[in-house]
Amino acid sequence: AQGMSLLMNGANIVTRRAIKALDDGITTPFITAMYSWNMLYNPDESVKGDYNVQAKGSAALMEREQQAQMFFQFLQFVNSNPILAKGAKWDKIAEEGARLLRMNKAGLFATPEEFKQIIDEMAKQPPPVAPQIEVAKIRAEVDKYVADLNAQLEKGRQALDKVLADAKLASDLQMHLSQQGMSLEELKQSFGLARMQEDNANARFNAEMAAKMGLGSGI
């Protein structure tokens, strides 16, 4: 016996006692009296015989509980096997479950035609994505996001290094100018004057060359 069966039987012991009392006190005596009357007064000799009345209300109750438990185990077994699950007639199985649970199956389930339509609509739907494929897709997206983030961080690091290098160069230049007793503005003016002198020299050289070429004195 399974542990759950023991618990269920222990919980229903009062109900089984009541059913047993009903069997012994009412069902058995009443059916026995009807049987005895038919043995004595029924004109149909084919119904007569040597019988004993056995009321099985409590036994039927226990049997129904065991059948219900075995039915749910059977459902799990069928559902765990892909071949059986695909070939099972689930509408018939659902009706059998309703019968074991003593439920009125009228109106609970669709008609066979409606079941066929539901199955056809489910067959048209795309198959579900396997969990492994979904996990791999999510992992790929995460890896791509991390790679993009690392690339952006690297660009930011390079830009920061360039800014720091420019700042160090400016600091070194300022320190050199202070040592030379010259300001940054004076350095700019000095570079501008030197550039102007160089431009004037180039212009004068070009003019002299053009004049020599025009006069025929050669280069």
Tens of pLDDT, residue by residue over 201-210, are: 777 777 777 6
Q: Which of 163, 90, 76 is nearest to 122 (CA)?
A: 90
Mean residue pLDDT across the chain:
76
Contact 109, 94 (CB under 8 A): yes
192 has a pLDDT exceeding 60: no
Arithmetic mean of pLDDT, 28-33: 92
Q: How far apart, in Å, are the Cα atoms of 197 and each of 138, 190, 192, 208, 209? A: 67, 11, 9, 16, 18
CA pair distance 172, 186, nearest whole angstrom = 16
> What pLDDT, in 10s, does the model give residues 106-120?
666 677 777 778 777
* pLDDT at position 32: 92
Does position 33 have pLDDT exceeding 90, yes or no? yes
Distance CA 65, CA 87 (A): 27
pLDDT band at 30 (very low <50, low <70, confident <90, very high): very high
- For the entire predicted model, the pTM comes to 0.35
Residues 55-101 pLDDT 10s = 887 777 777 777 777 888 888 888 888 787 778 777 788 788 877 77
Identify whether the C-beta of residue 98 lies closer than 8 Å to the C-beta of residue 105. yes
What span, in angstroms and rounded, lies between the C-alpha atoms of 152 and 138? 21
Average pLDDT over residues 138-163: 83
**pLDDT of 105 strictly over 90:** no
Pick the more confident residue, 198 or 121: 121
